[in-house]
Structure 1
């Protein structure tokens, strides 16, 4: 089956009056963002700053709440990919996260107080830490259930990718957040500590995405997929945004405006999609067995967006598992299965035969371990 690459769609248009109005609003938003970052900086305090953070070139940055179970595999996965350091902001976890991370020499830990929601769902905290500690570094801003996949990542590490991006003056990597699921009930998707989540939830929707290029923000908006199909079937545009720009060569004046979905300045958001230019995929493992527990906790904390209401209201449909599997479902089998579905691009330009990286960007012995394993047949 031949699929139209999702990164080749260019259907954006905006009239002059609307453009000027939105440009003015965006200018106000960045001013407000700067003020909020300054105000909420006092909510963030370092618990443990490791010396390796100063010299690290590639840093994973995440804000977490009760994600201790996910940490062992996540750390192993990104270490094998070549990330030298992890910056973790803990938003008042109660599952022993801080104690479990205490022995990790490449993890710098921060504690955040205050309201996650009032800090623009943690974005103000993330911006503060990035600008103070990560300027000049390649940062990967993700959630604990997201795993980066890019062309040839089974053979090449992150330095291979960023050396290419530096050579081409590409300051960021725009990605599709791809929801992964199983053919079982959600409560049966039990992922043991340290286990590869792709062995539990190996399916994704290969079609059913809608896109719109926003010329003002210079980004490709993407919605749909399994969450759109199951939870927002009447209007995919009401569903969650699936476009993210997680990998960025960070500069002190940069700022995330809408989580990892939108950045300032707009030029960092990826621009109009060009076929062949490398893009990535974030494999997103929301639908593991702990989702029910997270929804129950959220009902008490009330710190997330209204999107969480849709999961609760449609819980019965998701619980039986049959609401997820469809003719659009495809089993994940490494990055090539994403390329075949038109969801991943740039394989030719990143091929080892065509891209000569400097010595420090050559893959190490752990490069092959970066692949999430599909479920054995």
Structure 2
């Protein structure tokens, strides 16, 4: 179950966008995360705080647009947070659009620098879709980790300190849970072949369930096959990665006991002198460049019927 720590009293309109997220010790992400999604038009944040022991709770309490919940079970006991996402949806209602996201993921869609989530949702609805497929692009520093900048203005984009991403080396295929993309620096450097797609913008109706599906493919599965319409800039590899990966593995609550973090921690390439840069490292500029590079399909450019 989840219990409200603070629930705001202001009512929400049916077309107000609610962002649901599960977090733990997210103080270094929250200011920029909140600023990013407010700029896209999110009206209410609903967080499940999984026993944070840093300044996460204080930052959430200071946010005037955030509802805060806690639970009697941990992340693993909640099926990797999927049960919590369903419980949040139960509280805020069906037949509406949600953003379902992790706090180290920054959504980019065609024209997102000037357009809102409601504009993007109109694009998705015009195609008869009920969710938007996004590819997760790991961003990393333009330096060795030991030389990478560790500080940025609290509400600044993580691309200030991690401006680069892999411009090639991805594969795409229809798999069990969804259209899946694999690749990026985690495969290039460590050989881990994780699924790099999610559905961060999703219309929730009575058929929608996060639990019993996958973090990368909610139920019903038949809605999970489409072109890629958005990018999640994934703020995973930074100057803080050495400490953070060890902590997450020690928690042991992530998928398969944190196997992803263990594989990287045990890899010979992982360490303070690690350098993610290679010939095809590219600096993030904006959504237009991602569209031009073929990462995203811009539905505004589809041929007229």
Question: Does the CA-based 8 Å contact 1:185-1:318 persist in structure 2?
Answer: no
Residues 303-344 of structure 1 show CA distances to partners (whole Å, capped at 9, x for unaligned) of 12300112211264453243x111221111111221222111
Larger-gyration structure (1/2): 1
Alpha-carbon distance in 2 for matches of 1:202, 1:52 = 38
Give structure 1 regions of 4+ aligned residues with deviation exceeding 6 angstroms.
none
Residues 148-183 of structure 1 show CA distances to partners (whole Å, capped at 9, x for unaligned) of 101111221111111232333211100000000123
Question: Does the CA-based 8 Å contact 1:176-1:243 persist in structure 2?
Answer: yes
Residue 199 (structure 1) aligns with: 160
Instruction: Spell out the pairing of 1:6-85 with structure 2 (5 A cutoff).
Output: 42=1, 44-52=2-10, 54-55=12-13, 57-85=16-44
Q: How has the CA–CA distance of structure 1 residues 225 and 166 changed in structure 2, closer, same or farther, with 3 Å as cutoff?
A: same
Alpha-carbon distance in 2 for matches of 1:135, 1:168 = 21
- Among 285, 309, 313, the alignment partner of 2:266 is 313
Alpha-carbon distance in 2 for matches of 1:186, 1:52 = 44
- Among 187, 190, 196, the alignment partner of 2:150 is 190
Query: Does 2:302 match 1:341?
Result: no
Residues 73-105 of structure 1 show CA distances to partners (whole Å, capped at 9, x for unaligned) of 111111111111111110000013222222322
Question: Does the CA-based 8 Å contact 2:20-2:88 persist in structure 1?
Answer: no
Residue 245 (structure 1) aligns with: 199
RMSD: 2.2
86-95 vs 187-196, greater mean Cα deviation = 187-196
Q: How has the CA–CA distance of structure 1 residues 205 and 258 changed in structure 2, closer, same or farther, with 3 Å as cutoff?
A: farther
**Which runs of no fewer than 5 residues in structure 1 stay unpaired?**
1-41, 233-237, 355-377
Question: Does the CA-based 8 Å contact 1:131-1:252 persist in structure 2?
Answer: no
Secondary structure at 1:102 match in 2? helix
Q: Which has the higher helix share?
A: 1
- Among 240, 251, 254, the alignment partner of 2:208 is 254
Question: Does the CA-based 8 Å contact 1:164-1:350 persist in structure 2?
Answer: no
Query: Does 2:185 match 1:226?
Result: yes
Question: Does the CA-based 8 Å contact 2:143-2:277 persist in structure 1?
Answer: no
Question: Does the CA-based 8 Å contact 1:52-1:85 persist in structure 2?
Answer: no
Secondary structure at 1:319 match in 2? coil
Query: Per-residue deviation at 1:347?
Result: 5.3
Instruction: Spell out the pairing of 1:144-293 with structure 2 (5 A cutoff).
Output: 144-187=103-146, 188-192=148-152, 193-214=154-175, 217=177, 219-232=178-191, 238-256=192-210, 257-269=212-224, 271-273=225-227, 279-293=229-243
The TM-score, its normalising length taken from structure 1, stands at 0.73
Q: How has the CA–CA distance of structure 1 residues 330 and 318 changed in structure 2, closer, same or farther, with 3 Å as cutoff?
A: farther
Residue 359 (structure 1) aligns with: none
Query: Per-residue deviation at 1:53?
Result: 5.9
Q: How many residues align?
A: 297
**Which runs of no fewer than 5 residues in structure 2 stay unpaired?**
none
The TM-score, its normalising length taken from structure 2, stands at 0.89
Question: Does the CA-based 8 Å contact 2:246-2:261 persist in structure 1?
Answer: no
Question: Does the CA-based 8 Å contact 1:189-1:287 persist in structure 2?
Answer: no
Question: Does the CA-based 8 Å contact 1:52-1:106 persist in structure 2?
Answer: no
